[in-house]
Amino acid sequence: MSSQFTFLVYGPADTLLRMATKLFDAVHPKYTYHFQSITDKTLVQVAVFEQFKKQLNATETLTCVFECNKDRNRIEVYKSGGRMGFRGSSVNEEQSIEAEVVSFIHDYAKRMGLTLQEEVADPESSEPQGTKSS
């Protein structure tokens, strides 16, 4: 599973502007930062979410960056922390903070009739650069 997601959301400016505020009301971030650009009227909102998982004894951190323009939102979600690999049993009772934020973005876009696109990174080539097979 990827630890970075990038979404582009298109729609009316007022609805796009409310999206970050509604997310922060639904899922309370630990830290927030707001920046309003004077030149191009871009609003950048950064939120850091933390979730402690008792059964794994680990903290997951999710950083969410909203870049709001008049015609689109660019949302970048970065996940860090937690435990990787097999730990004995799977923990499915707790919904991860990542799943909660991503499902909110999908639900909000669907309810408000917005166009949602997820950017997918190009898969890296399996052959290293500079090598030539004959």
pLDDT, tens only, 98-118: 889 999 999 999 999 999 998
126 in a structural domain: no
Is the residue at 115 inside a domain?
Answer: yes
State yes or no: pLDDT of 89 exceeds 60.
Answer: no
pLDDT, residue 113, reads: 92
pLDDT higher than threshold 80 for residue 94: no
Query: Which domain range does residue 104 map to?
Result: 4-83+94-119
> Given pLDDT bands bounded at 50, 70 and 90, which one contains residue 127?
very low
- pTM of the predicted model, to two decimals? 0.77
Q: How much helix, strand and coil, in percent to the nearest 5, is found in the chain?
A: 20, 35, 40
**128 lies in some domain:** no
Q: Percentage of residues in the chain with pLDDT exceeding 70?
A: 79
Q: Which 8-state DSSP code applies to residue 121? A: P
d(CA 47, CA 52): 17
pLDDT bracket for residue 40 (50, 70, 90): confident
Structural domain total, the chain? 1
